[in-house]
């Protein structure tokens, strides 16, 4: 499987907190931050998932991830 690098070109909004319960009943959280990103010249809107609010707030123009 090939991974492609995505680079944030704009942050489109604030992180949004989401929660879910795991099988053992523990409540967990994650954050989705809406962004515009570039991948090999293809511009698209998506959301970056992070585990903490601090990680979500660190997403700025130039942030990269692979998928």
Q: How confident is the model at residue 66 (pLDDT cuts 50, 70, 90)?
A: very high
- Per residue in 8-64, pLDDT (tens digit) is 999 999 999 999 999 999 999 999 999 999 999 999 999 999 999 999 999 999 999
Model pTM score? 0.90
Query: Per-domain residue ranges for the chain?
Result: 5-59
| Res. 1 pLDDT band, cuts 50 70 90 | confident
Task: Show Cβ contacts of residue 67 under 8 Å, excluding neighbours closer than 6 positions.
Answer: 3, 4, 6
> Residue 38's pLDDT is what?
99
């Amino acid at each position: 499987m090939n991974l492609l690098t995505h680079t944030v070109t704009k942050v489109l909004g604030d992180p949004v907190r989401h929660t879910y319960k795991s099988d053992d009943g523990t409540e967990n959280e994650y954050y989705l931050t809406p962004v515009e990103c570039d991948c090999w010249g293809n511009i698209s809107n998506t959301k970056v998932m992070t585990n903490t609010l601090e990680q979500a707030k660190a997403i700025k123009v130039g942030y990269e991830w692979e998928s």
